[in-house]
């Protein structure tokens, strides 16, 4: 490590670095993506580039260690998505996805397969539809935005039984998601 060499033995740094590696994975940020970012920033911000290089090394080492120890590099949702692509596991099922604030790209891939297969899908988010607090407004709009494409695609395939619930009350239907 370059930029973080002095912190490498600090347990709190290691914990934060592992958390970052897991976030990179959840949002499908690969080593190639990081290399591209580094190449575009080297002249403008050398310190940031050094930090990104270190985080890329840490992320790669963490994934390699996971694979060596557990036989997987921690991409469980990606593996699940590939399995669901080939198998109709949720056929004629009612699926409830409860208490989320939003979804990562990997979670959305899994939800897309569930929407295609299940008879009904109900998704609840941790916010109130009519809450005037701007904190909740962002979660409500993000929930509509993150599922809009998946709902429209499901509707185009004549899947009708999709409902989204925001908090204990309120919600929106696929028609409202289009708006």
Q: Give the global pTM.
A: 0.59
* CA 63/CA 159 separation, integer angstroms: 37
Lowest-confidence pick of 39-53, 86-100, 114-128:
114-128
Q: How far is CA 88 from the centre of its chain?
A: 22
At residue 178 the predicted structure's pLDDT band, cuts being 50, 70 and 90, is very low
Q: Tell me the HSE value of 55 on the side-chain side, using a 13 A CA sphere.
A: 26
Is the pLDDT confidence value at 1 over 90? no
Q: Is 74 exposed, middle or buried (0-12, 13-18, 19+ CB in 10 A)?
A: middle
> In angstroms, what CA-CA distances link 135 with 104, 125, 141, 148?
19, 13, 11, 20
The residue whose two tokens read 């409202």 is 176
* CA 120/CA 112 separation, integer angstroms: 13
Is the pLDDT confidence value at 86 over 90? yes
Choice between 72 and 17, residue whose per-residue pLDDT is larger: 17
Structure tokens at 157: 């395939």
Beta bridge partners of 82: none
Structure tokens at 81: 């998505």
Structure tokens at 149: 């494409």
* CA 114/CA 112 separation, integer angstroms: 5
Q: Is 42 exposed, middle or buried (0-12, 13-18, 19+ CB in 10 A)?
A: middle
Quick: pLDDT tens for 125-169. 666 555 555 555 555 565 556 666 666 666 665 555 555 554 444
* CA 148/CA 100 separation, integer angstroms: 16
């Amino acid at each position: 490590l370059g930029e973080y060499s002095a912190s490498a033995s600090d347990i709190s740094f290691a914990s934060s670095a592992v958390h970052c590696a897991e976030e990179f994975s959840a949002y499908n940020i690969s080593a190639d993506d990081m290399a591209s970012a580094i190449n575009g920033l080297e002249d403008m911000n050398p310190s940031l580039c050094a930090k990104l290089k270190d985080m890329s090394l840490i992320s790669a080492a963490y994934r390699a260690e996971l694979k060596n120890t557990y036989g997987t590099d921690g991409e469980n949702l990606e593996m699940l998505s590939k399995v669901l692509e080939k198998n109709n596991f949720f056929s004629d099922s009612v699926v409830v996805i409860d208490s989320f604030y939003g979804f990562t790209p990997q979670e959305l891939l899994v939800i897309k397969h569930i929407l295609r297969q299940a008879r009904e899908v109900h998704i609840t988010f941790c916010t109130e539809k009519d809450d005037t607090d701007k904190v909740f407004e962002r979660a409500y709009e993000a929930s509509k935005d993150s599922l809009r494409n998946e709902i429209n695609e499901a509707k185009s395939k004549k899947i009708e039984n999709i409902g989204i619930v925001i908090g204990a009350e309120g919600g929106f239907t696929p028609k409202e998601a289009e708006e």
